[in-house]
Structure 1
């Protein structure tokens, strides 16, 4: 009888073959990993040295000779580092960079700067123009090119490039105006010429602000007059000019411009309206110039009330939220007067849920010398119906501007309490503000 043959170990053969396959795959993966690491090491040695010294950058460029970034950094080192300064070498590296990456506008800017360092203005201009052509809607290339033109005395061409920048990026106007002002030596003339030919009222408004900040008030007024009438942007820029004149204590000029601004915005304004602007709070509150300045704080809510009035449909309301130790002077109105004149101030007020002693007063000061002189009403009472109050005073010699303000002062500790609400309306001056005359 034949003996049964021993079964073969297929499990062993399969395991052996799988092991060989796994070894082969593993070795292949290792070789691939090693090659990857070698490549990464090569690139890493180059990239890791980009921010290092000159020797390291030369090592990097020897490993990656066609990398534009390495050439850019070498060029900048030779152009900007005083210890390695060499404009010719800088130019060589920048040119190698643009050969490798000819559509990178930032590299062409670097080429232009290197040419400028070598006093080769023609070649520098070519490079800058190439940068602008590659990125016509980018701010920086045109800004640098305009700077180049201004530095080389080509004012009209430089301003033309800056006008294009303003058209594309209106928010850049303050910087551009400042560049023209600082770089040309005749910035006022150039800006005025530009303002007259500009078709953008937004640009003119920015120019009004810029010229006002430089003390060129008459120029600012001329630009302002070129703007379209009865527009919000013209109103805002005119009010800014008035405020700038007032900050410079140029009261008569401020009053003159104020009249122009008001009449431009609303030709129906009367002389009586100008006598005390917005006397009854019926007009839109501008909060600048010779209008009411109304600002509350944590202790007082200050604003216009459409539901309460003595004259018209509105009044000013103060609501007291802090009851003890309250010091408030957040509401005021500046008026122009003749020096050494006798003045009568009248207004109406009423209260709700206030004590008779509340520390609220209306006072008049000279805002230029606030500690030199003041006139004030007695502390106001607590009438629940509209009541007229009068304050007579003599404006001192030399005082041209008066500031009327509504204040609350702390009283003695036993009675220092304020609560409730107070309304004001129908302010007037006799004689009327000098603006009206």
Structure 2
């Protein structure tokens, strides 16, 4: 009890010195605290608080929500000198009156009184942010989160303000390089709510390039979703590819994991599968499949909208063919089920739909041709129920799918030569036109348009609708897509004799013969 009284008296003495501008106590003065009557110090400290507040007294107001009057703060302090609340309310008043030194001292004393109180640190951080002392503010917010991990709803918006401005962003960068446990949640919040995609990208690139901790799935997921919302589809696709494990890259193709061998993640360019109590959607074994698993959708007198079975597609403009195998098992519904391919960005429109699946049958095949227009940046494949007459009826039974694939139908040889390239920086590389003679020769040439001359790191190339690792000497034909992952490069040699270097994080689609400088300048 004696210790509490001593601390209270010492706190009152410190407050008195802060509001009156008296220097910090010497050791001799501090030692005299125990001989000072507590009541007298309390009264003098309250008088000093009143004096500090007097110049900032507000006129009388009928507003019940107005800030406490100075007299109320003085009385609160007099009643409980160990309560930091009067200090926390006094500091902004002093700051507004340009009494910055005294305001700073008030905040520092409040923190000393309650060093483990997350609310005190939160309010101290706000004070220092108002003062422009951002590192001080961040230090208090970190202490807030350490004391109360649930304080993210209060802290993250404040940190987001710092991240959104280029001038204040750097104060958070050390956290990105050595991220605390809550950093992925903060980055997800930033990706979801930041007004500036540049801020999101800056921290993502810092995490991937300089952090000692690997990027988490939560961070990559929210980064990709933000890029998609911004219409930066190439950038989103490359970020997703770079996050795939070597095992999951085996399932890469224009349609990802069409054999349903890996459990879906539900984000990026993977399958989105969501059932409910009347629809079971899963990957499981059955007879007649190619591989270990197939997609099974089982209905138990389901009514209402179809459960989600869908995958985003990133396809270049051109002609494609969707194919697969299916087996219906007493699938009873008025209109049946079918796959649809639709454009979803920038505008939604139906591109094509498959045959209807209904009843029962042994394993059979299906296919549907569709075209992706140049105006469609992002597509989607989705399983839907057919309701031709607008009548709702329960669906029962099940259906299996396996060996689904999307392949590009090569354009005619006479197509105008072009190379379409995009990168994670969103700025496509412009390659000069070849001369007319070279273009004519290329149109008449059969076989590969280009050859992979050299590879460093992991480079992917399409093959019959799937991605495989690119190797030196591999020929590239019309419609082939070449992707260099992070830290990788590729060198291509075209049939006209010129060369092109594809740096890291690039995507190149060959839609015709080369468009680059003649061979005499290709070695630069």
Would you call these one fold, judging by a TM-score over 0.5?
A: yes
Report the equivalent of 2:497.
none
Report the equivalent of 2:306.
328
Structure 2, gaps ≥5 residues long: 1-42, 409-464, 467-480, 484-506, 508-524
Farther off after superposition, 266-275 or 390-399:
266-275
Report the CA distance between 1:386 and its aligned residue: 2.1
Report the equivalent of 2:315.
337
Task: Check conservation: 2:160, 2:190, Cα contact below 8 A.
Answer: no
Report the equivalent of 1:391.
368
Report the equivalent of 1:144.
123
Find 1:213's aligned residue among 182, 186, 193.
193
Task: Check conservation: 2:327, 2:360, Cα contact below 8 A.
Answer: yes
Report the equivalent of 2:234.
252
Cα 1:165–1:110 change in 2 (3 A) is: same
Task: Check conservation: 1:308, 1:314, Cα contact below 8 A.
Answer: yes
Farther off after superposition, 343-352 or 427-436:
427-436
Cα 1:176–1:194 change in 2 (3 A) is: farther
Runs of 4+ in 1 over 4 A off after TM superposition: 77-81, 183-188, 355-358, 412-418, 433-437
Cα 1:251–1:414 change in 2 (3 A) is: closer
Q: SS at 1:338's partner residue?
A: coil
Task: Check conservation: 2:188, 2:218, Cα contact below 8 A.
Answer: no
Matches within 5 A, 1:26-175: 82=61, 90-91=69-70, 93-173=72-152, 175=154
Q: SS at 2:401's partner residue?
A: strand
Q: SS at 1:200's partner residue?
A: coil
Task: Check conservation: 2:263, 2:283, Cα contact below 8 A.
Answer: no
Report the CA distance between 1:170 and its aligned residue: 3.2
Task: Give the TM-score of the pair, scaled to structure 1.
Answer: 0.70
Task: Check conservation: 2:266, 2:272, Cα contact below 8 A.
Answer: yes
Q: SS at 1:282's partner residue?
A: coil
1:346 is the counterpart of 2:328 = no
1:189 is the counterpart of 2:169 = yes
Task: Check conservation: 1:246, 1:254, Cα contact below 8 A.
Answer: yes
Cα 1:81–1:250 change in 2 (3 A) is: farther
CA–CA distance in structure 2, aligned partners of residues 356 and 160 of structure 1? 61
Report the equivalent of 1:228.
213
Cα 1:172–1:210 change in 2 (3 A) is: farther
1:301 is the counterpart of 2:279 = yes
Structure number, greater radius of gyration: 1
Report the CA distance between 1:429 and its aligned residue: 1.2
Report the CA distance between 1:278 and its aligned residue: 2.7
Cα 1:357–1:123 change in 2 (3 A) is: closer
Computed over aligned residues only, the root mean square deviation of the Cα atoms, in angstroms, reads 3.7
Report the CA distance between 1:84 and its aligned residue: 9.1
Report the CA distance between 1:426 and its aligned residue: 2.2
Report the CA distance between 1:279 and its aligned residue: 2.1
Cα 1:117–1:417 change in 2 (3 A) is: closer
CA–CA distance in structure 2, aligned partners of residues 308 and 80 of structure 1? 80
1:277-298 superposed Cα distances (whole Å, 9 cap, x missing partner): 2322222321112111122357
Q: SS at 1:104's partner residue?
A: coil
CA–CA distance in structure 2, aligned partners of residues 318 and 152 of structure 1? 59
Report the CA distance between 1:131 and its aligned residue: 1.4
CA–CA distance in structure 1, aligned partners of residues 83 and 200 of structure 2? 44
CA–CA distance in structure 2, aligned partners of residues 80 and 139 of structure 1? 33
1:345-384 superposed Cα distances (whole Å, 9 cap, x missing partner): 1122112122597421111000126653320112124443
Cα 1:178–1:328 change in 2 (3 A) is: same
Task: Check conservation: 1:213, 1:244, Cα contact below 8 A.
Answer: no
